[in-house]
């Protein structure tokens, strides 16, 4: 076998063909059961008919019994054997025994009734029916006990009539074949009717397929469900909901690309203009000043690009959480690690960064996104807190994260706007307006509630409530 070869997966068949195959299999099983039942029913009918004829032949022979010189004689009429005589499918044998069991007429070696053979209750006669083998073939035998009351004879004579089973089997086969032919025709007719019914029932689905195939790639309008059968409406509703989510995703991506292009275009143009101005200068001091400003602008662009990448990562992280990829994390440990990482930055700015986390608080989430959320909240607090101020990072039981600073705070009427992408409260700010937007997206991905509030006497108080992991 060639290395790397993989067997090709079987293509799924059509719904119509699958339904017809399963229905045909079910009908075949029913036909098999019906065939066995029809055969035994036909065999019982044949046995009943031929047993009656056997008994009639035995009675006809019994009517020909007479006494002569103290001995029983038999006058076997031709009509008694005419019904069976040398039939192409069977043959008849008879035997007449006197009061003492001696042979009077017929074949002397006909099989005797097995011990315990019951008397038939189907006919008013002292008759016993049984199966036996005679001359290497199966026979059906009737033993009729005939009372004899003559002046010189008084007792019970026995008449046996045997018939080969060929005629019975032929009759049973004819009944069986007739039944199978009619049932087979009925099954084929049922399959044809089912095929026509399924084809008619699938026409709306085929019309829906053609309608979807005829649409343009950017046409995400809802599919019409008014004329569809009730069974197809949940599928169409699910497709429409998916199209709504997809349309919303495309709109957010388009808006994000437009906003990002706008936000990047301005600082890049300013950076290019400043570099061109520095190139026209002749003094080394002007060159150094230009390089320093270019380095600062590059840092801002790098920060903006990192934030844009963070927004892109949130989409994949949210999808991983929705698909069950969240991890069990200790929120207190995450806050402690971030506090230790940002402590040098807070110290350099003259800000006291405090951590309050008394116990482990377990939640489920994506660690990279949660680190991004903590980093943005604390970095935003440090950026707006003046030197000598305080920033408190607090983790409370119940899955609550709080960040409090001594900055100017945010007016209540703007608390909802700051979570919009590229929203800036003042034109003097150096940020891109993405920090709290990233925080809001991460909270939405973790189904966490976030609230902003003015702290007393001043500053901003941010509260994020996560869902606890009870495992």
Q: What is the pLDDT of residues 46-95, one digit of tens each?
A: 788 888 888 888 888 888 888 888 788 888 887 666 654 444 556 888 89
At 427 the pLDDT is: 41
At 85 the pLDDT is: 44
Cβ neighbours for 182, distance < 8 A, ≥ 6 positions apart:
none
At 83 the pLDDT is: 53
- Number of Cβ atoms within 10 Å of the Cβ of 401: 27
- Of 146, 169, 194, nearest to 25 (Cα)? 194
* Averaged pLDDT for residues 178-186: 80
- Nearest-5° Cα angle at 15, 9 to 16: 130
pLDDT band for 143, please (50, 70, 90 cuts). very high
* Averaged pLDDT for residues 215-225: 75
Q: Decide which of 284 and 340 is more confident.
A: 340
Least confident of 232-241, 387-396, 455-464: 232-241
Least confident of 80-84, 281-285, 440-444: 80-84
Q: Decide which of 422 and 116 is more confident.
A: 116
CA distances 35 to 41, 173, 190, Å, are 10, 11, 18
What CATH architecture applies to the domain 18-174?
Answer: 2-Layer Sandwich (3.30)
**Which ranges in the chain are annotated with CATH 3.30.450?**
18-174
- Of 339, 324, 335, 321, nearest to 448 (Cα)? 321
pLDDT band for 129, please (50, 70, 90 cuts). very high
At 128 the pLDDT is: 92
What CATH architecture applies to the domain 326-465?
Answer: 2-Layer Sandwich (3.30)
- Number of Cβ atoms within 10 Å of the Cβ of 160: 23
* Averaged pLDDT for residues 23-36: 81
Structural tokens at position 16? 């119509």
Structural tokens at position 245? 């989510």
At 307 the pLDDT is: 67
At 259 the pLDDT is: 64
Whether the per-residue pLDDT at 1 is higher than 50: the answer is no
**Which ranges in the chain are annotated with CATH 3.30.565.10?**
326-465
What is the separation, in whole angstroms, between the first and last Cα of the chain? 49
Structural tokens at position 149? 């009351």
Q: Decide which of 408 and 464 is more confident.
A: 464
**Which ranges in the chain are annotated with CATH 1.10.287.130?**
227-324
Whether the per-residue pLDDT at 375 is higher than 50: the answer is yes
Question: Average pLDDT of the chain?
Answer: 79
Please tell me the pTM assigned to this model: 0.47
Q: What is the pLDDT of residues 410-439, one digit of tens each?
A: 877 777 777 776 666 654 455 556 677 888
Least confident of 28-37, 180-189, 195-204, 260-269: 260-269
Query: 68 pairs with which residues across the strands?
Result: 71
Fold annotation for 227-324: Helix Hairpins (1.10.287)
Least confident of 236-240, 370-374, 411-415: 411-415
């Amino acid at each position: 076998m060639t290395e790397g070869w993989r067997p090709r997966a079987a293509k799924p068949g059509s719904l119509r063909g699958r339904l017809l195959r399963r229905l045909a299999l079910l009908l075949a099983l029913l036909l098999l059961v019906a065939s066995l039942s029809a055969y035994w029913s036909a065999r019982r009918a044949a046995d009943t008919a031929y047993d009656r004829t056997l008994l009639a032949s035995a009675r006809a022979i019994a009517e020909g019994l007479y006494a002569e010189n103290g001995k029983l004689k038999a006058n076997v009429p031709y009509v008694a054997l005419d019904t069976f005589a040398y039939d192409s499918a069977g043959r008849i044998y008879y035997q007449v025994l006197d009061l003492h069991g001696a042979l009077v007429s017929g074949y002397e070696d006909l099989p005797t009734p097995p011990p315990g053979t019951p008397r038939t209750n189907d006919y008013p006669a002292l008759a016993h029916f049984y199966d036996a083998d005679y001359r290497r073939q199966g026979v059906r035998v009737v033993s009729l006990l005939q009372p004899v009351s003559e002046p010189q004879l008084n007792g019970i004579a026995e008449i046996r009539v045997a018939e080969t089973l060929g005629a019975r089997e032929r009759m049973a086969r004819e009944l069986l074949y007739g039944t199978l032919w009619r049932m087979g025709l009925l099954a084929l007719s049922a399959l044809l009717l089912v095929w026509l019914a399924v084809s008619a029932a699938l026409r709306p689905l085929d019309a829906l397929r053609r309608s979807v195939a005829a649409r343009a790639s950017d046409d995400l309008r809802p599919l019409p469900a008014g004329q569809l059968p009730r069974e197809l409406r949940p599928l169409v509703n699910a497709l429409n909901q998916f199209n709504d989510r997809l349309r919303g995703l495309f709109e957010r991506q388009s808006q994000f690309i437009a906003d990002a292009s706008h936000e990047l275009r301005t600082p890049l143009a300013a950076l290019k203009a400043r570099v061109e101005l520095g190139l026209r200068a002749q003094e080394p001091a002007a060159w150094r000043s230009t390089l320093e400003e270019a380095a600062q602008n590059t840092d801002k662009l790098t920060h903006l690009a990192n934030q844009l990448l963070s927004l892109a990562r949130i989409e994949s992280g949210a999808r991983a959480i929705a698909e069950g990829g969240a991890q069990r994390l200790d929120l207190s440990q995450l806050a402690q690690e971030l506090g230790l990482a940002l402590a040098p930055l807070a110290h350099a700015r003259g800000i006291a960064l405090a951590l309050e986390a008394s116990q482990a608080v377990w939640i489920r989430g994506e660690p990279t996104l949660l680190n991004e959320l903590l980093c943005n909240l604390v970095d935003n607090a440090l950026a707006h807190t003046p030197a000598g101020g305080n920033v408190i990072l607090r983790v409370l039981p119940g899955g609550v994260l709080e960040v409090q600073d001594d900055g100017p705070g945010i007016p209540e009427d703007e608390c909802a706007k700051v979570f919009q992408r590229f929203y800036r409260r003042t034109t003097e700010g150096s940020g891109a307006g993405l920090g709290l937007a990233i925080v809001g997206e991460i909270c939405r991905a973790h189904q966490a509630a976030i609230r902003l509030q003015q702290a007393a006497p001043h500053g901003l108080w941010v509260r994020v409530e996560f869902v606890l992991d009870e495992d």
